[in-house]
Amino acid sequence: MAGLGKVQSVAVYGIEAYMLEIEVYVAKGQLPSTVVIGLPDAAVKECRDRVKAALKNCGYKFPLKNITINLAPADRKKEGPLFELPIATGVLIATSQIKTDKVHEYGIIGELALDGRVRKVNGCLPMAKRCKEAGLAGLILPADNAPEAAIMKDIDIIPVKTLTDAVGFLTDELSISPFSVNLDDIFNSSSHYEVDFADVKGQEHVKRALTVAAAGNHNVLMIGPPGSGKTMLTQRLPSIMPKLTLEEALETTMIYSTTGLLDSDQSLIATRPFRSPHHTISTAGLVGGGSTPHPGEVSLTHHGVLFLDELPEFNRKTLEVLRQPLETDKITISRATSSVTFPAEIMLVGAMNPCPCGYHTDPKKECHCTPRQIQNYISKISGPLLDRIDIHVEVPSVQYKDLTSTSTSESSEEIRGKITEARNIQLERFKGLKYTTNSRMSAKQIKNHCLLDNQSEELLHQAMTELGISARAYNKILKVSRTIADLDNSNNVRIEHLSEAIQYRSLDRTMWK
């Protein structure tokens, strides 16, 4: 006699989850067979043997009949082993080994071990969110995933360790309390940085430049010899940026959840991400991709800092794909049948040597590079990408007196307070608009908010004509000037604000041309 079992499950495409119905049809046939349909990948097809072993080792029967397993909707490719627990449940229902009405109230996900244990899977947080949106009572999932999924409020998270646990819960033979966490406590305890700006000796003008960059969310390029502290400074940049809101933390955590990058003891990312990929990274690794698109480093940096050290060594074509996310705060991966959009609201920080040998600006070490070699090295960074970087700052070698100094510098918390005040000014300024920081100002907004007096106009004219500053730097200087004025709590852009902004255009000066 034929039987049909239906189970609700959920899957992830890109970083968005969607509901899935798993149908298991069992019927007599001349030879036993098990077929999985609905665009399964190799990992999904392999579930047949794992489900069979898990059922037998948990004391259930695996039917020696024709079994058809349909994963609907059938037009989306299914990846990974997370459908094994719901498939096993569907087999038990279709063969009348269990009877349950609760199965329609819950989503079910989980990978099965051969002995029936339920193993951890990726993407549980967006899955829990989707089940909540679909009106389900809860989500049955591996116990190891429960702390992550329980971040989503107003949905029951049912942790199971074995197939037997899941069956017992569905048939009311076993009582399992929903897993719960205190979201506020987790958020507060996780929002601590291990590094601090007070650790950095010297480099006060670079710290100031990074403070300005963080206040207006400006992209930065640091130029300096090896060992001058470019990496150390950038690693501490997230610690002075405004704290993540709970909504931003959830957005970032969902991305890490789908890629399996959440630590086992971490259920929420409450600090701004810092990512530093090697210069050999591929285009897909940087912005995302694959036959079924997955997030790249740009999206993993969402709401954080993307640090590209040795910027000229990156593949030029790979760097060019950064132009879209730097302008739109998102990256779109298109395929023949569909397209996926990943969030990518990032602050880009690049670091490079001033020349191939690294010592062009170092007063203590001789540079052996020719002017042509230096120019060729600088020109590895394309004009369009350089046009999206607001601040260029030179990072000199650290002096011995600075390294041995016992004086204390401003802490990250102190700097963050100033930056948060400047960001609040910008939030009020751009209320109702898509962007909230000075770095995203349009030409119209620049005219409205970056008015200069006659003295400042003369200074900007002189900088462009005598110092060789390019025309494309004009708007960048005005944006940075507005941010410096916000840090100074000034309604108007004054000449000292403009003068400081001009200093942050190193690569536009004649000495680099």
Q: What is the set of domains in the chain, with CATH numbers?
A: 3-170 (3.30.230.10), 190-412 (3.40.50.300), 441-513 (1.10.8)
How confident is the model at residue 443, as a pLDDT?
Answer: 85
Sign of CA dihedral 328, 269, 218, 228: negative
Give how far Cα 400 sits from Cα of 199, 229, 404, Å: 15, 13, 6
Per DSSP (E only), the strands in 245-356 are 274-275, 305-308, 330-334, 339-343, 347-352
Element (H, E) at 289: none
Q: Please list the alpha-helical segments (H only) found in 288-322.
A: 297-300, 316-320
Strands 347-352 and 220-223: parallel
Burial class (CB in 10 A: 0-12, 13-18, 19+), 228: buried
How confident is the model at residue 509, as a pLDDT?
Answer: 59
Please provide residue 325's backbone torsions phi and psi, each rounded to the nearest 5 degrees: -65, -30
How confident is the model at residue 398, as a pLDDT?
Answer: 78
User: Per-10-residue mean pLDDT for the chain, 513 residues long?
Assistant: 88 92 90 88 87 95 92 88 94 94 95 96 95 96 95 95 97 95 88 89 91 96 90 95 93 93 85 95 90 89 96 92 89 81 94 89 84 88 85 84 71 95 95 90 90 91 81 87 96 94 78 49
Q: List 6's β-bridge partners, or say none.
A: 23
How confident is the model at residue 380, as a pLDDT?
Answer: 87
Query: Edge-to-edge strands of the sheet including 3-13?
Result: 3-13, 16-27, 66-72, 33-37
CA–CA dist 337, 386 (Å, integer): 34
Q: Whose CA is closest to 303, among 230, 233, 229, 246?
A: 246
